[in-house]
Structure 1
Amino acid sequence: MLLAFSAGIRGLLFGYDTGVISGASLYIRDDFEAVEKHTWLQETIVSMAVAGAIIGGAFGGWMNDKFGRKKSILFADILFITGSLVMALVLNPWVIIVGRIFVGLGVGIVSMTSPLYIFEASPARIRGALVSTNGLLLTGGQFLSYLINLAFAKTRGNWRWMLGVAGVSPLVQFILMCFLPESSRWLYRQETEGSMGDGVFSKLKSAWSNKVVRRGLYAGITVQVAQQFVGINTVMYYSPTIMQLAGFASNRTALALSLITTCLNSFGTILSMLFVDRFGRRRLMIVSMIGIISCLIVLSIMFFQASVHTPPYKPGECLTVDTVTRGTCRAQNRTWYTYGCPSKFGIFTVLHLGLYILSYAPGIGTVPWIVNSDIYPLRFRGTGGGIAVVSNWNLIVSETFLTLTETLGSAGRFLLFAGFSTVGLVAIFFLVLETKGEGARKRI
């Protein structure tokens, strides 16, 4: 349990990062006019952590096989601490991007290492539940990030504190990991087959030429891609912005409502821990995807109705977006609507967003990490997991959220994700076998 908690702090790191940037970005755009004027710059600040995670995930598998699980986690912690300090001390938005890349590199490495490390130390009967602690800490990190965002919302240098505090949890993990052993299965692999001296590309070639590994990759990549294309990162990275699109203009109100999604995410992860070893991985993912598709369709309808039933405009209500006008408005204690308009559908949108999270968390939210820890032979476990992680860190989704909103509208964006989710459900049904129990790998 100590090992699962210590390694699972990886989830806390990732969860805090996704939650904190969604709140901090509201204040970053207030401090930097260029960020407010250029949608692509705000998207880049948010998504560069994903770009770093792609690179980190690509080399994380090789690092795991070459240097072991423990050293990989320690190295990722150093990267995460560095990135947090850089973001907290920046003077312009471009340096924030550099810090986000450092954080992403750390997240990419540890995102596949921690579940693997926990998996290799867990007995089969509770293996799924212990790996799910990683997901529970992830949702806990998201909840913590919104609390911290609210705490620093009216503090001078608010977003700097929000981003800087992110360096605390990797420091705690680094200290705890120093007292934990290396994975016994990795040590066994070292002892029986010698040093894993293969380079990255030769390792990839060997993995792909192995029929068992290749079949596992079909399943592993499928579940990781499906996890991203249900649109979850847009919800987690831009949750306060979505709340504003639904008609809640205040930054603090949007942050407070975002706490609902993180609480439900944590509750859903607990459900996964209770049922994943009992009902199986594949069944949970299929039920989860059906619920997600239903919620996305309803959300699309809700946002469309909200756009149709916005209050009628009056002369002077459509104002030029600039710092002077916005400052004058707020100085008179008026509400400044940058995204969306007040609507009677806003509260129903928040409720269905909660149902979406409840559908996501117990299944497709946590199970892909369990599956990818389970389906590869020991020799290729790090490489296979690394390839799957790269496919999980999808830059397209987070980089295009605001652009898609401007182009398709909120309703069209959610409908698009419903279409992607339907494709993901079909792929999971045909490509993913059950991996519950000791004999699962024989079936694969």
Structure 2
Amino acid sequence: MAIAGAIIGAAVGGWLNDRFGRRLTILLADFLFFAGSAFMATAPNPAALIMGRVFVGLGVGMASMTCPLYISETSPANIRGALVSTNSFLITGGQFLSYLINLAFTKAPGTWRWMLGIAGLPALLQFTLMLLLPESPRWLYRKGREAEAKSIIEKIYRPEEVEGEIMALKESVENEVIEIEAAQSIKLTELVKTKAIRRGLTAGVGLQVFQQFIGINTVMYYSPTIVQLAGFASNQTALLLSLATAGLNALGSIASIYFADRSGRKKLLIFSLSGVIVSLAVLSAVFQGTTTHSPPVSLVESNGFGGLMCEDYAAGRASATWDCTRCLKMQSCGFCSSSSNKLLPGACLISNTTAGNKCRAYGRQWYTRGCPSKNGWLALIGLALYIMFFSLGMGTVPWVVNSEIYPLRYRGICGGIAATSNWISNLVVSQSFLSLTQAIGIGWTFFIFGVVSILGLLFVIIYVPETKGMPIEDIEKRLEKRAIQIKFWGNKGRSSDPSNKA
């Protein structure tokens, strides 16, 4: 429900940005965050909890496309990539903190109410601080509030840069006025017919879709499950290891801040996707080996628990062929490992609290998702590499590119389209992940993500332009000249040769 709300929030966020400004849209998102958290913490029934999730989702959708846009429009070109990447780092840092908070509240009374309700505090803090910040100077200039825009630009840029920035902004707005006189309102046909917009949307939307379809949010949403699928049975162990993955995500985002304005957006994307492909290959191979070499089920071991033997296993007369993987495929079954060695034959029992507690009482490990494996640590290494490579480029650069690739007049609506595509893709992948793992196994699921990553790499090489250090107005000119953007080196921003078609 939160993701569904985010889709709506991102869709209306573009209109809100263009009509009321970036600052007011962020304030509205903060209000929705706070209201949603309050609804969830005090929910008397599931309907109220769902309503709170929708409110939070609406705020997430608005903020996801507005914050990078606001940062981009209030940043000098030479540090714009680093500052937008910082936004992504703080998101991943927030995810890390949320795991810590969840861990802290696991023993508290009213566990989940505290977990969900405390999210209102940072929303309240940001709302208060946002009241002290100015509106985007680019939005103000476009609305005819030139004096306000100029005073803000003077605070952002060095004195010798102010005049050039104002002239570039003035030229951009004057070009828009000419377009508006020719067409009184933005029409969807304009987005398709205008070369720069169409090519910018292709790159921007494509990056957002690939960001989700290579599987990152399945890893973040279901990392405790994935850790258990790798053979780590304990819920607490799974949560602690998930905390580590969230920390690696934050570390990768820090590296992205450093490299975004040094190596360039496109190079960073290519390096990131190349690492993701290798990591997914490792994950696919390890999980495939785990499912094909899982411990056998022993009839003697299963009988040792009296009436707790799984009915599906008891009814299957070909029980000698059963192993842990087949046991867990039956939704009603759980696997209790051998007391001497978890890789030896174990018991297939009813998947309930009684059987789980009895299994652990005998000093055994209780599995309901993944099976014991001697190579589980390889899966953790693959998972760690995947997160680090992803967060270095694909986690942050799509938002950087989408914050700077569209002309000012279209920035709100195009950013909204791109953010909406991101959240729709997020919903599709997150809702299908567990079903895929049940149907074809987690090894093949990661293999599919790997194939999509290869397609994403080819897409980046062909369609995504390098925007490092370029004033936003010059990016539009580059898109007008060339549809295929295979060249990704030698960009020098505003001082580059205007005839350069890269």
Would you call these one fold, judging by a TM-score over 0.5?
A: yes
1:112 aligns with 2:142: no
1:379 aligns with 2:441: no
Is the contact made by 2:30 and 2:59 (CA closer than 8 Å) also made in structure 1?
yes
Is contact 1:207-1:213 (8 Å) kept? yes
Separation in structure 2 between the aligned mates of residue 234 and residue 356 of structure 1, nearest angstrom? 12
Does residue 415 (structure 1) correspond to residue 450 (structure 2)? The answer is no
Shift of 1:283: 1.1
Within the candidate set 268, 274, 295, 1:284 is matched to 268
Aligned to 1:337: 367
Q: Which moved more, 1:323-332 or 1:52-61?
A: 323-332
Summarize the Cα distance change of 1:149–1:434 in structure 2 as closer, same or farther, 3 Å threshold: same
Quote how far apart the aligned CAs of 1:97 are: 3.2
Do the aligned partners of 2:34 and 2:123 also contact (CA within 8 Å) in 1? yes
2:453 pairs with 1:398: no
Please, which of 412, 422, 428 is the counterpart of residue 460 of structure 2?
428
Distance 1:328 1:178 in 2: 57
Q: Distance in 2 between matches of 1:163 and 1:330?
A: 31
Distance 1:307-1:91 versus aligned 2 partners, 3 A rule: farther
Determine the C-alpha separation between the residues in 2 that align with 1:96 and 1:329: 35
* AA of the residue aligned to 1:142: Q
Q: Distance in 2 between matches of 1:425 and 1:406?
A: 28
Residues 1:119 and 1:82: Cα distance change in structure 2 (over 3 Å):
same
Q: Is the 8 A contact 2:41 2:116 kept in 1?
A: yes
Structure 2 CA distance for aligned equivalents of residues 374 and 137 of structure 1: 20
The higher radius of gyration belongs to 2
Instruction: Tell me which of the two structures has the higher relative contact order, counting C-alpha pairs closer than 8 angstroms and 6 or more residues apart.
Output: 1
Residue pair 1:204, 1:383 contacting (<8 A) in 2 also = no
Q: Which amino acid aligns with 1:144?
A: L
2:387 to 349, 357, 379: 357
Shift of the alpha carbon at 1:77?
A: 1.0
Does 1:78 pair with 2:62? Answer: no
Amino acid at match of 1:292: V
Residue type of the alignment partner of 1:153 = T
- Aligned partner of 1:7 in structure 2 is none
Kindly tell me the number of residue pairs found equivalent between the two proteins: 392
C-alpha deviations, 1:261-288, integer Å up to 9, x for none? 1121111111111111111111111111
SS at match of 1:310: coil
Question: Partner residue of 1:440?
Answer: 475
Aligned runs of 1:29-428 on 2, under 5 Å? 48-93=1-46, 95-191=48-144, 202-315=186-299, 316=302, 317-326=347-356, 328-329=358-359, 335-393=365-423, 394=425, 395-428=427-460
- Paired amino acid for 2:412: G
CA distance in 2, matches of 1:132, 1:243: 28
Structure ranking higher in helix proportion: 1
Moved over 6 A (4+): none
Between the aligned partners of 2:354 and 2:39, the Cα distance in structure 1 is 30
Letter matched to residue 391 of structure 2: A
Contact 2:31–2:123 (Cα < 8 Å) also in 1: yes
The one-character-per-residue Cα deviations of 1:176-206 (angstroms, maximum 9, x if unpaired) are 1011111111010111789x9xxxx955444
How far has the Cα of 1:423 moved from its partner?
1.4
The CA distance in 2 between the partners of 1:434 and 1:57, in whole Å, is 25
Q: Is the 8 A contact 2:196 2:477 kept in 1?
A: no
Contact 1:268 1:361 in 2 (8 A): yes
For 1:116 and 1:431, the matched residues in 2 are separated by 21
Give the superposition deviation at 1:157.
2.3
Structure 2: which amino acid aligns with 1:434?
E
- C-alpha distance in structure 2 between counterparts of 1:333 and 1:57, whole Å: 50
**Structure 1 pair 92–320 and aligned structure 2 pair: CA distance change class (3 A):** farther
CA contact (8 A) 1:153 1:252 kept: no
SS of match in other structure, 1:312: coil
Partner letter of residue 368 of structure 1? P
Cα pair 1:149 1:255 within 8 Å, conserved: no
- Kept in 1: contact 2:196–2:476 (CA 8 A): no
In structure 1, give the amino acid aligned to 2:91. L
Distance 1:333 1:81 in 2: 45
Contact 1:207 1:383 in 2 (8 A): no
Q: How far 1:87 sits from its partner (Å)? A: 2.3
Deviation per CA, 1:95-134, whole angstroms, max 9, x where unpaired? 4333222211110001010011011111111110011110
Can you list the C-alpha shifts for 1:307-351, whole angstroms capped at 9, x where unaligned? Answer: 223222223221222344445556777643221122111111111
**TM-score under structure 1 length normalisation:** 0.84
Q: How far apart are the structure 2 equivalents of 1:364 and 1:269?
A: 10
Alignment TM-score, normalising by the size of structure 2: 0.74
Q: Which residue identity is paired with 2:385?
A: L
Looking at structure 1, the residues matched to 31 and 258 of structure 2 have their Cα atoms a distance apart, in angstroms, of 33
Structure 1 distance, partners of 2:46, 2:367, is: 23
**Aligned-pair distance for 1:85?**
2.1
In 2, Cα distance between the equivalents of 1:93 and 1:241? 24
**Aligned partners of 1:65 and 1:353: how far apart in 2?**
40
Equivalent position SS for 2:266: helix
Task: Give the SS at the match of 1:319.
Answer: strand
The verdict on how the C-alpha distance between 1:318 and 1:114 changes in structure 2, with shifts beyond 3 A counting, is: same
Over 3 Å counting, the alpha-carbon distance change for 1:334 and 1:149 in structure 2 is farther
Q: Percent of aligned positions with the same letter in both sequences?
A: 58
Which stretch has the larger CA shift, 393-402 or 95-104?
95-104
d(CA) in 2 for partners of 1:207 and 1:337? 52
Distance 1:333 1:150, change over 3 A: farther
